[in-house]
Amino acid sequence: MYNIAAVSFGELFLKGKNRGSFEQRLTDQIKYALKDFNGVTVYKDSGKVYVETKNHEDMDQIIERVRKIFGISNISPSVKSGKDVDAIIDKTLELFAYLLEKKDIKTFKVKTNRTDKNFPIKSMDFNALVGGKILEKFRSVKVDVHNPDVEIYIDIKKSCYISTDRIKSLGGLPVGSNGRALLLLSGGIDSPVAGYMIAKRGVEIDALYFHTYPFTSERANEKVLKLKEKLEEYCGKMKLHSVNMLEVHKAIREFCREEETTILARRFMMRIAEKIAVENKMDMLITGESLGQVASQTMKSMVVIEEAITMPVLKPLVGLDKTEIIKIAKEIGTYETSILPYDDCCSVFAPAHPLINPRLENIKRSESKLNIPDLIEKVLATREIM
Ligand code: ATP
Ligand code: MG
């Protein structure tokens, strides 16, 4: 029955002077999310975006896709009708008959919104007119303006749209409305969730993955690629950079103490990420760290790791328990991929007893044995866009 979805934006960001560009951005994102559907057109009509399809059986799937785009507050499955009075009444009756078949409706209400003031009947009068027609045709139902089983919403703009339900969306701000950041994306549970949370606040993200090929497998790469694709359902198109950390690990192993490996390697990761972020005009990094979860995520470790760079690091999961993170991972659909067994980081180089209380001066002394710029250059030379 439904051949068009009316998409309403969140209110917050709509007030400013950027409204037009946000609307355009959201329209583009909706088009991108629906690129593999045939017969779909996306257009604006006074304050809402409409997704019209020639194949109404695609509607549920279309709504499921669009619902994931940040910055949308709700979506109404609708039918589009001609704009003359009789056409609207006919379509409304047709929709009402369809609804009656699907659910038990005893009471209803009609609500008209007349944006097009050229439409000849005022909203209140039109409510009464259409309501009367419904009562005439469907003898079992009554009007209830306070608590109806169904509200028929007739929105008269350039075209006329008739709907009954609002499907709540994920909220957030449109991606791209709030700057750009680089997500350090591993194959684990946490970092995809971290990326999701920051993208939800309107940040456009690219991802960076560190591998240690041949010690980490091709399958680990594929897993990260799959996570990126899952994230794209929410964040829009993302670039996934990957680099090989092998040279760094070899140097650390040769010149430094084993228990310092994790901290040293993570300082390198931060430096490399910062470089790639700057190059791509991104202002912050994002990681999936949560305070106290593992040795490198103690307060002291975080301080020492981040001392290597000046760029701020967003850690949206910092105060969450693992069970809370897992819950979100399941909701957004990354969990099943994240728990696949292929490891993203190389166990060959992982220390048996990592430091939990690293001291910056010790770490710096160890680093003085390494040629940092040279190692960074070697890692950056392995860069690929996956
Ligand atoms: P995750 O579940 O995200 O893998 P984790 O619990 O394994 O996190 P760590 O290994 O300490 O924790 O990593 C902390 C953060 O550092 C990750 O959330 C991620 O943002 C980043 N990170 C770790 N390993 C990699 C990697 N191989 N590639 C890219 N980023 C990484
Ligand atoms: Mg991990």
Q: pLDDT band at residue 343, thresholds of 50, 70 and 90?
A: confident
Does 190 sit in the ligand 1 pocket, CB within 6 Å?
A: yes
| pLDDT (tens digit per residue) in 75-96 | 999 999 999 999 999 999 999 9
Ligand nearest to the CA of 287: 1
Q: Is the pLDDT of residue 185 over 70?
A: yes
Q: Would you state the structure tokens that stand for residue 327, as one six-digit string?
A: 């819950």
Same domain? 162 vs 219: no
User: Atom of ligand 1 at shortest distance to CA of 208?
Assistant: 29
Q: pLDDT band at residue 217, thresholds of 50, 70 and 90?
A: confident
Same domain? 251 vs 337: yes
Local structure of 267: helix, strand or coil: helix
Contacts 24+ apart (CB under 8 A), 357-364: 357/298, 357/300, 357/301, 358/260, 358/263, 358/300, 358/301, 358/304, 359/304, 360/303, 360/304, 360/307, 362/260, 363/260, 363/263, 363/264, 363/267, 363/304
- Give the distance (Å) from ligand 2 centre to CA of residue 3: 44
Least confident range from 53-57, 140-144, 172-176, 335-339: namely 172-176
Does 209 sit in the ligand 1 pocket, CB within 6 Å?
A: yes
Does 189 sit in the ligand 1 pocket, CB within 6 Å?
A: yes
Does 329 sit in the ligand 1 pocket, CB within 6 Å?
A: no
| pLDDT (tens digit per residue) in 289-307 | 999 877 778 899 999 999 9
Mean pLDDT calculated for residue range 32-40? 93
Does 195 sit in the ligand 1 pocket, CB within 6 Å?
A: no
**CATH number of 17's domain:** 3.30.2130.30
Does 184 sit in the ligand 1 pocket, CB within 6 Å?
A: yes
Mean pLDDT calculated for residue range 106-112? 97
Indicate the residue among 170, 197, 213 that finishes a domain: 170
* pLDDT the model gives residue 12: 57
Ligand nearest to the CA of 186: 1
pLDDT, mean over the chain: 93
Higher pLDDT, 294 or 103: 103
Q: pLDDT band at residue 10, thresholds of 50, 70 and 90?
A: confident
- DSSP code at position 48: E
Mean pLDDT calculated for residue range 213-232? 92
| Cβ-contact 311, 208 below 8 angstroms | no
Distance CA 200, CA 43 (A): 23
Q: pLDDT band at residue 155, thresholds of 50, 70 and 90?
A: very high
**Nearest residue (CA) to ligand 1, atom 6:** 190
Domain span at 269: 180-385
Least confident range from 18-27, 236-245, 312-321: namely 18-27
Same domain? 10 vs 144: yes
Same domain? 23 vs 131: yes
Mean pLDDT calculated for residue range 100-123? 95
Q: Is the pLDDT of residue 144 over 90?
A: yes
Ligand 1 pocket mutation, candidates 182, 184, 186, criterion most atoms within 8 A of CB: 186
Sign of the alpha-carbon torsion through 286, 290, 296, 299: positive
* pLDDT the model gives residue 352: 82
Same domain? 19 vs 75: yes
Same domain? 36 vs 101: yes
Mean pLDDT calculated for residue range 224-249? 95
Q: Kindly report the number of other CB atoms within 10 A of residue 212's CB atom.
A: 22
Same domain? 160 vs 276: no
Mean pLDDT calculated for residue range 240-257? 95
Q: Is the pLDDT of residue 4 over 70?
A: yes
Query: What is the β-pairing status of strands 384-385 and 204-211?
Result: unpaired
Does 289 sit in the ligand 1 pocket, CB within 6 Å?
A: yes
Say if 48 falls within a structural domain: yes
Determine which helix (DSSP H) or strand (DSSP E) holds 182, and give its type and residue range. strand 180-184
For the chain, what is the domain count? 2
* pLDDT the model gives residue 293: 74
What pTM did the predictor assign?
0.88
